[in-house]
């Protein structure tokens, strides 16, 4: 794609370099514009984790999961995933390292990581870039789809690998 | 809602830190988080600058318009309020295909560009339009065909078949995406029901932000 687009454009007599620079200019401003949004969100997430509030929440839900035959080890991943992409990837890697990549936990972790996304980050970056303050129902829908992805990943893995 | 979540995380974090005697960690976390926010933003500069440059070439060559015309019906269903042939459609499609291929860092600039194009159609610049919410729903559900990072990690830890999670990931991502589209539609419908009948929100914009309004409207 990186080679095809400029070649195609050149064939259609587009001044490719000038076009590139023209578009690229916007990238810098956009990245700078996102900074306040990301700093705000990252601080809240970081504080929430470091205070032990996240651990407390997990201690609350894990007995419930165990009752359903779901390994409670994967729960933190489900809670971390919408908040932090690198944090959840680190946690998934840790689960894979400790339990083995071919264990049920390792496979569930991989599937969760692959089928959900860092909703708060995506929301912050995309809305931050255009100055949207009121996201309407976007956050609700995003978190709902994360929850569905999390549950679906566990259910499907239990069915296929369990 | 974002206000409540943000405030909630900070206040709950503060209370827990006080109760657990972790005030040092709390303070450290504040500056750590702030530093992370800046680091991530700066990390995005190179990716954004490069991909927006390439996408500008594609736009000038008419590529985005032809893609938009080709896949118009699908996007027309998901984004009923975006006019046919509008540049936003080309960016939405590039964003979707980059997501499908698992090219995370190429998907973000195109998603941002799509948002900026949708903002030109948005009558109320502070509030997300339904089309923006749909784009976000598609991105948070993250339709993934090949979870390359996870395959690499599994390979690294000696899996006998690192790619055997492709099927389960595909199935789970498919379910999540369907749920996102469904929930988005439901919310959109409810929003329309709540609004009294009559002319849509255009009248709310005092300056009449027509199609010629600038891409950037960075406030707050």
Residue with tokens 């690294």: B156
| pLDDT tens sequence across A119-151 | 888 888 899 889 898 888 999 999 999 999 999
CA distances from B19 to A48, B14, B23, B26 (A): 13, 9, 9, 12
Whole-prediction pTM value? 0.74
Nearest to B140 among A31, A43, A117 (CB): A117
* Domain residue ranges in chain B: 1-45, 62-193
Contacts with B, A 29-68, CB within 8 Å:
29-36, 38-53, 56
B60 touches chain A (CB under 8 A): yes
Task: For tokens 């699908």, name the residue.
Answer: B74
Q: What is the DSSP string of B83-144?
A: PTT-HHHHHHHHHHHHHHTT-HHHHHHHHHHHHHHHHHH-SSTTB--HHHHHHHHHHHHT--
Q: What is the CA radius of gyration of chain A?
A: 20
- Nearest Cα neighbor of A125 from B3, B139, B13 is B139
Mind listing the pLDDT tens digit for each residue in A13-50? 889 999 999 888 888 887 888 788 888 888 888 898 88
Q: Is the ipTM of this complex over 0.85?
A: no
Contacting residues of B for A103, CB less than 8 Å apart: none
Nearest to A149 among B113, B141, B219 (CB): B141
pLDDT score of B210: 40
- Cα–Cα distance measured from residue A16 to residue A10, given in angstroms and rounded to the nearest whole number: 6
Q: What is the DSSP letter of A71?
A: -
Cβ-based neighbour number of residue B194 at 10 Å: 7
How distant is the alpha carbon of residue A24 from its chain centre? 26
Residue of chain A whose Cα is closest to the Cα of B166 = A111
Question: Looking at per-residue confidence, does A107 or A79 come out higher?
Answer: A107
pLDDT value, residue B218? 37
Model confidence band, residue B213 (pLDDT cutoffs 50, 70, 90): very low
Question: How many Cβ contacts (< 8 angstroms) between chains A and B?
Answer: 354
CA distances in angstroms from A144 to A85, A147, A148, listed in the order given: 17, 5, 6
Distance CA A89, CA B124 (A): 37
């Amino acid at each position: 794609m990186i080679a095809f687009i400029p070649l195609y454009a050149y064939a259609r007599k587009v001044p490719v370099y000038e076009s590139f620079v023209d578009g690229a200019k916007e990238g810098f401003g956009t990245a700078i514009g996102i900074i306040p949004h990301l700093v705000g969100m990252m601080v809240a997430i970081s504080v929430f984790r470091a205070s032990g509030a996240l651990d407390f929440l997990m201690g609350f839900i894990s007995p419930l999961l165990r009752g359903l035959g779901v390994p409670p080890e994967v729960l933190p991943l489900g809670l971390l995933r919408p908040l932090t992409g690198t944090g959840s990837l680190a946690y998934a890697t840790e689960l894979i390292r400790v339990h083995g990549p071919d264990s049920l936990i390792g496979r569930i972790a991989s599937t969760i990581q692959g089928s959900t996304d860092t909703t708060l980050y995506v929301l912050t970056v995309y809305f931050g870039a255009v100055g949207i303050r009121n996201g309407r129902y976007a956050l609700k829908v995003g978190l709902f789809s994360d929850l569905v992805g999390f549950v679906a990943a566990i259910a499907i893995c239990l069915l296929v690998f369990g | 809602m974002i206000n409540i979540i943000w405030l909630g995380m900070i206040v709950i974090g503060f209370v827990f830190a006080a109760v657990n005697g972790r005030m040092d960690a709390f303070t450290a976390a504040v500056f750590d988080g702030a530093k992370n926010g800046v680091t991530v933003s700066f990390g995005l500069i190179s990716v954004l600058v490069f991909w927006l440059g390439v996408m500008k070439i594609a736009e000038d060559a008419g590529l985005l318009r032809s893609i938009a015309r080709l896949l118009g019906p699908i996007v027309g269903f998901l984004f009923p309020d975006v006019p046919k042939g509008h540049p936003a459609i080309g960016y939405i499609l590039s964003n979707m295909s980059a997501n499908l291929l698992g090219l995370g860092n190429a998907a973000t600039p195109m998603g941002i560009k799509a948002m900026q194009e949708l903002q030109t159609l948005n009558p109320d610049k502070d509030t997300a339009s339904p089309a923006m919410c749909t784009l976000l729903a598609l991105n948070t559900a993250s339709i993934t065909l090949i979870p390359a990072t996870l395959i690499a990690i599994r390979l690294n830890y000696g899996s006998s078949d690192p790619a055997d999670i492709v099927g389960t990931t595909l199935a789970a991502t498919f379910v999540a995406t369907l749920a996102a589209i469904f929930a988005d539609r439901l919310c959109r419908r409810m929003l329309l029901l709540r609004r009294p009948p009559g002319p849509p929100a255009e009248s709310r914009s005092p300056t009449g932000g027509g199609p010629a309004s600038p891409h950037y409207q960075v406030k707050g």
